[in-house]
């Protein structure tokens, strides 16, 4: 079973989604998750779509790859909430990003290996 960062949540009024081993930057995903954390799901999705369309920005940056990945996980969590019968308009987003397992690219001749980008993302939707 996956341990979530937001642990003390009533299972009847919440829905969860987890992205594991995603090939996106941990630093960028933390920035985007902080931007949508504790927002209404409608506002969070509108904000992420605005980032993808380059209408809004976070300190002048758009984070395309990270934003599209987090948006797909958020939509998955929304479908989980819809399946549970929760009111979609009252859902609050709690998003967090963590460094995933590390693996290295193999060495070539005298060069050292390189660490690959791996991130875990947790999204919990709570009905208020």
Rounded CA-CA distance 102/65 in Å is: 20
Asked if 123 and 17 touch (Cβ cutoff 8 Å), the reply is yes
Domain hosting residue 29, numbered range:
13-104+114-127
Is residue 5 domain-resident? Answer: no
How many domains in the chain? 1
Is residue 6 domain-resident? Answer: no
Q: pLDDT by residue (tens digit) across 31-62?
A: 999 999 999 999 999 999 999 999 999 999 99
**CA distances for 29 relative to 23, 77, 88, 111, angstroms:** 11, 17, 24, 29
Determine the average pLDDT of the residues in 49-76: 97
* DSSP state letter for 58: B
Q: pLDDT by residue (tens digit) across 5-19?
A: 887 889 999 999 999
Work out the end-to-end distance of the chain between its first and last CA atoms, rounded to an integer number of angstroms: 26
pLDDT-derived band at 1 (thresholds 50, 70, 90) equals low
* Global confidence as pTM: 0.89
């Amino acid at each position: 079973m996956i341990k979530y960062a937001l642990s003390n949540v009533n299972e009847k009024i919440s829905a969860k989604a987890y992205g594991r081993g995603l090939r996106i930057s941990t630093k960028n995903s933390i920035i985007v998750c902080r931007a949508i954390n504790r927002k209404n799901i409608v506002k969070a999705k509108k904000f992420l779509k605005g980032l993808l369309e380059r209408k809004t920005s976070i300190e002048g940056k758009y984070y395309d790859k990270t934003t599209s990945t987090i948006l797909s996980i958020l939509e998955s969590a929304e479908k989980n909430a819809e399946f549970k019968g929760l009111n979609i308009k009252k859902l609050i987003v709690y998003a967090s990003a963590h460094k995933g397992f590390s693996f290295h690219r193999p060495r070539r001749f005298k060069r050292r290996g390189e660490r690959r980008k791996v991130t875990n993302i947790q999204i919990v939707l709570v009905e208020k």
